[in-house]
Amino acid sequence: MSKTSEVAVMNGKEIYKRLLVYVKPYWKAFVFAIVGMAIVASTEVGFAALIKPMLDGTFVERDPFYLTFIPVALIGIFVIRGVGSFAVSYCMAWVGRNVIRDLREQMFDSLLRLPTAYYDKSPSGKLISKLIYDVEQVSDAASRALTILVQDTLILFGLLGWMFYLNWQLTLLFLIIGPLLSGMVVFINKRLRLINKRLQDSVGDVTHVAQEAIDGQRVIKTFGGQTYERDRFEIANQQNRRQFMKIIVTNATAVPVVQLVASCLLAAIVYLASRPDMQDSITVGTFMSFIAAVLMLFPPLKRLTTINAVLQRGIVAAQSVFEFLDAKKEVNNGNEILDSVSGKIEYRNVEFQYDEESNKVIDNFNLQIAPGETVAFVGRSGSGKTTLVNLIPRFYNTSAGQILIDDVDTQTVKLNSLRQNIALVSQDITLFNDTIARNIAYGAMSDATDEQVIKAAEAAHAMEFIRDLPEGLNTIVGEKGMMLSGGQRQRLAIARAILKDAKILILDEATSALDSESERHIQIALDELMKNRTTLVVAHRLSTIENADKIVVLDSGKVIEVGTHNELIEKKSAYASLHNMQFGET
């Protein structure tokens, strides 16, 4: 326990330093806020100080000056206080919201540059909760907690100073019991930090389970996964409640106990001050002003204990945010630009494993693809077809060996430039919740004209169904394209690839969701499209690849045969038996 919390404290300091970097651009507002805090604190002390002349001057001595001065001063104090606290609220919120915006911007930027492997490992719920929830928590620490820490510390010292001025003996008594209070605060502090870490994890778990249930609702329905999902959710939900309750219990116990100790202190002060030897030096005004100061110390003390919950939550959240910002980005240290490539591709002794511990998915793979050639990858599910084509746009980097495009090692090429030359229709189609036109003319192609989009959609045989939609190309496709059928989604993805008009085309099961009729139509379009570009096709339906220049048969990431359809059929080996299975020939 002590060891881990020491590490956390160290990190805590570093985190504050790093957060300050984000606050720095807004330091002027920050200074205004601090000035506001000083104003609020001084009015607090001023109010306690005003009690002495109010009682001694007004009620005891009936001094005419004080009779008018005190009421005016009272109003004045609260006017100044109002101005100060407005400045604090406004400026701190301004700084806080700006820091949130900056952090989110950086995080989103970081998100876009993460390697595919990072996404494989992190559930999207966790990533989203970092971006939404954790960042808010950080701002809480940056503004609310800080307001209380600075302002209340100022009030604390101001009031203590005033108390010393009034009577040092009574103040000393207060200072002896005071550390007891702060000791308790430190203890609570440590405990809250621990629980908060667990709370944050449990929030991520709840989001994650819920998200999976939402995304997978069809699978849950058809496979009767309700009980399993409900159990999973219940565990996460329970854990979340438990962690929240722990925080509440810690807070709810801490506050009354601290107050009890404080009331004992007050009793001791009253007892001491009323002893005969003290009575001469203490006027009614002095005593009441002193008591007022002690009483006014409680709220800031109380806030200083409760604020730890927010502060600690902020540290944990900031840690999570900074960890995310520091996550390794996609390796992009090549400088070469691939301009007007011919489309020659070479796999040279390529090895690949997803994890250092896991087995090689691709093992010593060699293949040369001439410009304009169509190469088909076939093989059992899990044999590494998708993996092989994913290596070309460097979604993953080879563990050993090279992939060359036009004899240039892709490792030495700028990622942007590399990917500009590749159009991809992947096994799982991605559509954005936007219009059909904007899904086809996505990203760098967004300035395509309507004619170009329609032409691409025609070629992909997508216009047929798009015309039937009420809004045509301007129809919103819904989240992940849910409003469309699987085949329609695939045709949009093909249209997108057609529009990109890149030299290298990758089709990973691009027509698997289509019926034979549509597939034949698209095949004609695809054949046209493949004509003067290098195409890598992955297909289970062998009928679609019979015309390929080369068919590469894979097994466990290794090439077992290469040849044209006719050559391989004649060889009567792996491909031929696959073919026979699909077509029932002997």
Ligand X SMILES: Nc1ncnc2c1ncn2[C@@H]1O[C@H](COP(=O)(O)OP(=O)(O)OP(=O)(O)O)[C@@H](O)[C@H]1O
Site residues (vs ligand X, CB under 6 A): 120, 354, 361, 379, 381-387, 427
Is 427 or 435 the residue whose CB approaches Mg ion more closely? 427
Question: 488 contacts which partner out of ligand X, Mg ion, none, CB within 5 to 8 A by kind?
Answer: none
Residue 508 burial (CB count, 10 A) = 20
Is 110 or 512 the residue whose CB approaches ligand X more closely? 512
Tokens of 195: 């629980």
14-22, 110-118, 305-313, 423-431 -> range binding Mg ion (CB under 5 A) = 423-431
Is 292 or 389 the residue whose CB approaches Mg ion more closely? 389
Residue 40 burial (CB count, 10 A) = 24
**Min separation Cβ 387 and Mg ion, Å:** 8
Residue 152: burial class (beta carbons within 10 Å; 0-12, 13-18, 19+): buried
7-15, 63-71, 425-433, 554-562 -> range binding Mg ion (CB under 5 A) = 425-433
Strand-pair category, 558-563 with 550-555: antiparallel
**Min separation Cβ 387 and ligand X, Å:** 3
Question: 473 contacts which partner out of ligand X, Mg ion, none, CB within 5 to 8 A by kind?
Answer: none
If you write DSSP's letter for every residue of 529-570 in order, what string do you get?
HHTTSEEEEE-SSGGGGTT-SEEEEEETTEEEEEE-HHHHHH
**Min separation Cβ 509 and ligand X, Å:** 7
Residue 224: burial class (beta carbons within 10 Å; 0-12, 13-18, 19+): exposed
**Min separation Cβ 408 and Mg ion, Å:** 27
**Min separation Cβ 381 and ligand X, Å:** 3
Is 5 or 556 the residue whose CB approaches ligand X more closely? 556
3-state SS assignment for residue 396: coil
Q: Are 302 and 258 in contact (CB under 8 A)?
A: yes
**Min separation Cβ 490 and Mg ion, Å:** 14
**Min separation Cβ 558 and ligand X, Å:** 12
Is 220 or 376 the residue whose CB approaches Mg ion more closely? 376
96-104, 167-175, 245-253, 380-388 -> range binding Mg ion (CB under 5 A) = 380-388
For 129-162, the three-class secondary structure string (H helix, E strand, C coil) is HHHHHHHHHHHHHHHHHHHHHHHHHHHHHHHHHH
Is 322 or 395 the residue whose CB approaches ligand X more closely? 395
Q: Are 456 and 498 in contact (CB under 8 A)?
A: yes
**Min separation Cβ 549 and ligand X, Å:** 20
Is 169 or 366 the residue whose CB approaches ligand X more closely? 366
Q: Does 129 bind Mg ion (CB under 5 A)?
A: no
Q: How many residues bind Mg ion (CB under 5 A)?
A: 2
d(CA 351, CA 300): 63
Is 6 or 355 the residue whose CB approaches ligand X more closely? 355
Question: 354 contacts which partner out of Mg ion, ligand X, none, CB within 5 to 8 A by kind?
Answer: ligand X
Tell me the residue nearest to Mg ion as measured from the CB. Answer: 386
78-86, 88-96, 426-434, 574-582 -> range binding Mg ion (CB under 5 A) = 426-434
DSSP letter for 413, please. Answer: B
**Min separation Cβ 425 and Mg ion, Å:** 12
d(CA 512, CA 532): 23
3-state SS assignment for residue 513: coil
Tell me how far CA of residue 513 lies from CA of 123, 212, 272, in angstroms.
27, 23, 88
Question: 153 contacts which partner out of Mg ion, ligand X, none, CB within 5 to 8 A by kind?
Answer: none
Tell me how far CA of residue 109 lies from CA of 97, 114, 218, 320, in angstroms.
18, 9, 33, 16
- Binds Mg ion (CB under 5 A): choice among 137, 151, 202, 386: 386
Dihedrals φ, ψ of 505, to 5°?
-120, 130
Is 361 or 441 the residue whose CB approaches ligand X more closely? 361
d(CA 13, CA 2): 17
3-state SS assignment for residue 25: helix
Is 17 or 121 the residue whose CB approaches ligand X more closely? 121
**Min separation Cβ 93 and ligand X, Å:** 42
Sites of contact with Mg ion (CB under 5 A): 386, 427
